[in-house]
Amino acid sequence: MQSYTIGQAARLLGVSPDTARRWADAGRVATHRDEAGRRLIDGRALAAFSIEVAQGAHTEDGETYTSARNAFPGIVTAVKLGDVAAQVEFQAGPHRLVSLLTREAVDELGLQVGMRATARVKSTSVHIDRA
């Protein structure tokens, strides 16, 4: 079974290494030490914990994010406007998403760089590459 360092786990969870370390110290996710003394998290434990973290995600107002598995709360990082179409870039933790939509939709939503938003992805097929 693959294990992950605190830093690797933090990147996969979309949090800082300090946050991942605090969660491990609090016993929210089990760790063990390797021969070099590094703290590691078992892959299965990290997978289960990532689901727990996602289900417990809350906004600053305390409202729960949508339960849809394809919702990515994050921040708008770029908006490129054309005459009819627009391209919006979005960062959700370690994930960068790019959306092509109408300029009218961008204007109606008032999308601007630095704004919090949620990207939703709907697809009939999802491809997974092994790391």
Confidence of residue 76 (pLDDT cuts 50, 70, 90): confident
CA–CA distance, 11 with 22 (Å, rounded to integer) = 15
Q: How far is CA 92 from CA 76, 77, 86, 97, in A?
A: 9, 10, 19, 8
The overall pTM is greater than 0.85: no
DSSP string over 100-115:
EEEHHHHHHHT--TT-
pLDDT tens profile 7-32: 999 888 888 899 999 999 999 999 99
Q: Which residues pair with 80 in a beta bridge?
A: 87
φ, ψ (nearest 5 deg) of residue 111:
-65, 130
